[in-house]
Structure 1
Amino acid sequence: MLGIFRQRNPAKSANDGPPPSLSPLLSPSPAQSSTTDASPDNLSKSPRPLTVSTSTSASDSASTDSTMAMSAVDVFFLTFNCAKNFVDVPVFATHLLSALRQRSAPGGLPDLVAFSLQEIAPIAYSFIGPYFLNPYLARYEDALNLAADAFNNPTGHDDRSPLPLPGKLRTSPPAYTLVRSKNVGMTAILLFARDPLAVVDVQEAEVGFGAAEMGNKGAAGLRVLYEARDGAGSAELTFVATHLAAMEWNLARRNANWAAIMRGLTFENPEKILKPKVVAATSAEDDGEGGTGLEEVVRLLHDRHIEESRQMQERLHDISVFKPSSHLFVAGDLNYRISATSPTPNANFPSLDPESENYYPHFFPLDQLTREREAGRTLNGLSEARVDFPPTYKYDITPPSSSESNNPLEVSWKFAPHRYPSWTDRVLYLDIPPWTKALRPEARGIEVQAYNAMPVVASSDHRAVFLRVDVPVMDKEDLLLPRQDSHAEYPAEWDLDPRAKMPVAIDPEAWERRAAARQKEVMAGWSMLLGSTQEGALIVGTLALVAVSAWYLYQQWY
């Protein structure tokens, strides 16, 4: 399929089931353990609908008690696989401007903007670090502020052409300030704020799960406390950028990558929490020697052990991605596909034509992420807004024909024939806990304002995807699971929420192994740079010239 992206029929949805006449399309993944047969042959018999977001809509929120209205943080989270290329700032800014204008409820620019970027630069640059990586990252800051300036100062710009770059002398401060950037290998996260003073207590986390736990695949996280301007409170937010294992057949590996995030992406070294526990246990044993009755000593030690274990588990929970008092967002190239095998030569591909029997929404019931998430094997507890956009991968950029314009915003493309088009790029969130909804019926959940994909750009085989939400500002205590006592029985499903019980145990050695992997990255990065790039050849040549010159001078002097 060749052509310029066209806006699909809004009456259709990517979650709609297939028509009765749909022919077999793909092979189902053998890794699926769901009882529903989701093979293409059975799609027309028993379509599997997407479980849509449970976020409160604007109409729902209007029915709540207006006197209990709370302020909210306007958050925009975008994911983009950069394909190791520099981004075209005017083009990306123009598409970003269109994205910033998409909001269900009226509003201005978001308070916080986060970018999850994968394959941000060539692997050698990414492994070495900031000196080579910063020029790639800086372009996204430039694009964001260019789009924000156009949003704030409409000048009749023609949306059919890229935004012009600003002059060298800026007349006003940029709309957004970079709060923090963090990368693990080729995956980076950038966090921007309109009011940087409102963002306090910034924490970082990283984990690699590529070769030898290096960062060719991995996740980077930022956790911040955002203080409401009106003094109504604060909201703690956790942003995770990640790039999971590729290839159709690698479903189990992708799930394992997510498990590695849950175990190892911690915002404090777990050993600092666990080591005092060992010391305290030893001290308690010493205190019991030669004391009162043996039974009393055993009872006291048992009670102390239970309380210390509970406190330790709470602290470990707090440094994980599932900190109970924090709102969690995960974005990235999650790489979940619609098939476990590569396409055959005559395979049916999704179409953007609403009249086609292969219209792309009919393929969404094969989405691995939705099926695995609902089965509890990945992205535990997280929600996703309704997916109404076409597959975001894999695109082949084709040269424009003589009859087509050279406008960089209008990119000619086709789906790559060797990969099934899939929704690999996603943004998910953890809504407010079920106990908060039960105990505070008037509380607003996370309200989705937009969830969409940006147009195809010439520099990547992926499309960027963005989520815009209003995050409620509420007291920390309202998000915590109430202490259970002997007179209260809580619903069993509350224990399924990862803020009540961690799905996996925290890896106490995660930081130590990550430090070792980082050393490998630096060595590998410099080796690749010196052996396979122009910069490396220049460095080697310069060192050789210096060595020869030194030898010559030595011979002349001695």
Structure 2
Amino acid sequence: MRWLHLIQKALNKKSSPVKTATFPHKLSPKRKSHSLCSGRMDEPFTAEEYHNVDLRSSTISERGSLHKSLCGPQHISSLQSHSSNEANISTGAIGVPIHLPPPAVKSCCGGDAERTLQYALVASKQMVGILLSVWVRDDLGRYVQHVNISSVRCGVMGYLGNKGSISISLRLHQTTFCFICSHLTSGEKEGDELRRNCDVNVILKRTYFSTRLKGSLPHTILEHDHVLWIGDLNYRLALPSTSMKSLLARRDWDALLERDQLHIERTAGRVFKGWHEGKICFPPTYKYRTGSDTYAVERRKFGQKRRTPAWCDRILWYGNGLKQLEYVRAESSFSDHRPVYAVFLAEVVPKKLKDFLV
């Protein structure tokens, strides 16, 4: 798949056929479960002045210290999750690098030496416009086990797959991870946020990882040690267009976020109860005119869907032992969304320690 080759090329300096990690166990059987559509708009107002934010990505050196640079995330992590949404995979991709301290590398002179880390594909799945892939650093591939995939279709009779989720479960050493990529119900009408809440609850309820092994392997999302939920969640801003333009011009993200539907619904305990999200310090990621840096605003014509800027693209996490280092957006204009990514530190229990504790 072209997208996997592009991701592999970004993670590894030398371009080569997509490399798949070798695991002690084969992929577990996947169980499919049970979406809707989106719309378009016109009339832009310039948002160029809102984007002069330092959006440099981060890299983590072999010694584990955090550095700022203008290069991509290829040296950041041990596990990387990438997702994209929309029927032609055209909206902003979302990346979640998870960092575990890499092994020390000795040079021929006896000192520490930087090396190019290589990543291999753990698993990937596409469901219409939803694509999720998980990558692992080469030297950790042998510690990844029990890889499992589950997909859920939301919406009308569960027949359409352009809304829903893909989830990938795995165990690294003795710690379980679950990565979810979702595309939730669109729309800005009053009550549409409740439909998105319903999508989340359906995904949590129907996502199931089947396994023939008895024991402590997780079957549901919340049974995992570390859970990361990424994607186009489609939550909008409950704010009149005129007020929104004023706050955007002032770059008053805190005031805008007070009217963010996801923030409101989480605070009320109606969705993502017990989940966490990092502080948002970047402009809304939607909706842009494709190929430009201008927000697209509706013309209020009959039958036209309302579209105003919003933070549709989000990253949330669940469970202890995850620490977010960074939560930013990138400036890629090939879509009407802007991609976001986060960097995490993850606690992982090695097998030897697990055996000792047991």
TM-score class, shorter-chain normalisation, is 0.5 to 0.7
* Partner SS for 2:275: coil
Pick closer, same or farther for the CA change 1:350–1:395 going to 2, 3 Å: farther
Show the 5 A alignment for 1:289-308. none
Say whether residues 1:365 and 2:258 are aligned partners: yes
- Measured in 1, the distance between the counterparts of 2:137 and 2:287 equals 34
* Partner SS for 1:395: coil
8 Å CA contact 2:145–2:171 kept in 1: the answer is: yes
8 Å CA contact 2:323–2:344 kept in 1: the answer is: yes
* Partner SS for 1:256: helix
Counterpart amino acid of residue 446 in structure 1: L
Higher percent of residues as strand? 2
In structure 2, which of residues 278, 289, 296 is the aligned counterpart of residue 385 of structure 1? Answer: 278
The C-alpha deviation readout for 1:33-61, integer Å capped at 9, x for no partner, is: xxxxxxxxxxxxxxxxxxxxxxxxxxxxx
Alignment: residue pair count: 265
The match for 1:493 is none
- Measured in 2, the distance between the counterparts of 1:198 and 1:179 equals 11
The match for 1:429 is 317
The C-alpha deviation readout for 1:234-277, integer Å capped at 9, x for no partner, is: 321110000110011211110100110111011128xx99xxxx
In structure 2, which of residues 329, 340, 345 is the aligned counterpart of residue 453 of structure 1? Answer: 329
**Pairwise CA distance, 1:173:** 9.3
Say whether residues 1:244 and 2:184 are aligned partners: yes
In structure 2, which of residues 295, 298, 304 is the aligned counterpart of residue 414 of structure 1? Answer: 295
- Measured in 2, the distance between the counterparts of 1:109 and 1:386 equals 20
Say whether residues 1:115 and 2:82 are aligned partners: yes
8 Å CA contact 2:143–2:172 kept in 1: the answer is: yes
The match for 2:226 is 327
Counterpart amino acid of residue 106 in structure 1: L
Say whether residues 1:219 and 2:264 are aligned partners: no
- Measured in 2, the distance between the counterparts of 1:185 and 1:395 equals 22
The match for 1:267 is 209
The match for 2:57 is 99
Counterpart amino acid of residue 321 in structure 1: I
Show the 5 A alignment for 1:377-526. 377-397=270-290, 411-417=292-298, 418-432=306-320, 445-455=321-331, 457-474=332-349
The C-alpha deviation readout for 1:519-551, integer Å capped at 9, x for no partner, is: xxxxxxxxxxxxxxxxxxxxxxxxxxxxxxxxx
- Measured in 2, the distance between the counterparts of 1:3 and 1:334 equals 22
- Measured in 2, the distance between the counterparts of 1:423 and 1:253 equals 17
**Pairwise CA distance, 1:120:** 5.0
Unpaired runs of 5+ in structure 1? 11-94, 123-135, 145-171, 228-233, 274-310, 399-410, 433-444, 480-558
- Measured in 1, the distance between the counterparts of 2:135 and 2:344 equals 15
**Pairwise CA distance, 1:116:** 1.9
- Measured in 2, the distance between the counterparts of 1:337 and 1:350 equals 17
The C-alpha deviation readout for 1:112-155, integer Å capped at 9, x for no partner, is: 11012111527xxxxxxxxxxxxx9xxx8xxx9xxxxxxxxxxx
* Partner SS for 1:328: strand
The C-alpha deviation readout for 1:305-347, integer Å capped at 9, x for no partner, is: xxxxxx9xx98x9311011x5211101111111128xx56x55
8 Å CA contact 2:180–2:229 kept in 1: the answer is: yes
The match for 2:196 is 254
* TM-score with structure 2 setting the length: 0.65
- Measured in 1, the distance between the counterparts of 2:133 and 2:283 equals 26
Counterpart amino acid of residue 266 in structure 1: Y
- Measured in 1, the distance between the counterparts of 2:347 and 2:87 equals 32
Pick closer, same or farther for the CA change 1:349–1:236 going to 2, 3 Å: same
**Pairwise CA distance, 1:100:** 4.1
Counterpart amino acid of residue 113 in structure 1: Q
8 Å CA contact 2:279–2:327 kept in 1: the answer is: yes
Pick closer, same or farther for the CA change 1:392–1:106 going to 2, 3 Å: same
The match for 1:187 is 130
- Measured in 2, the distance between the counterparts of 1:466 and 1:333 equals 12
* Partner SS for 1:349: helix
> Alignment identity in percent?
26
The C-alpha deviation readout for 1:6-57, integer Å capped at 9, x for no partner, is: 334x8xxxxxxxxxxxxxxxxxxxxxxxxxxxxxxxxxxxxxxxxxxxxxxx
- Measured in 2, the distance between the counterparts of 1:318 and 1:106 equals 32
The match for 2:245 is 349
Pick closer, same or farther for the CA change 1:218–1:474 going to 2, 3 Å: same
Unpaired runs of 5+ in structure 2? 1-44, 68-74, 98-114, 299-305
- Measured in 1, the distance between the counterparts of 2:270 and 2:336 equals 28
- Measured in 2, the distance between the counterparts of 1:199 and 1:100 equals 25
The C-alpha deviation readout for 1:457-500, integer Å capped at 9, x for no partner, is: 33211111111100111379x99xxxxxxxxxxxxxxxxxxxxx
Pick closer, same or farther for the CA change 1:200–1:424 going to 2, 3 Å: same
In structure 1, which of residues 7, 27, 30 is the aligned counterpart of residue 52 of structure 2? Answer: 7
- Measured in 2, the distance between the counterparts of 1:422 and 1:350 equals 14
* TM-score with structure 1 setting the length: 0.43
- Measured in 1, the distance between the counterparts of 2:265 and 2:246 equals 21
**What's the C-alpha RMSD, in Å, of the aligned pairs?**
3.5
- Measured in 2, the distance between the counterparts of 1:331 and 1:389 equals 17
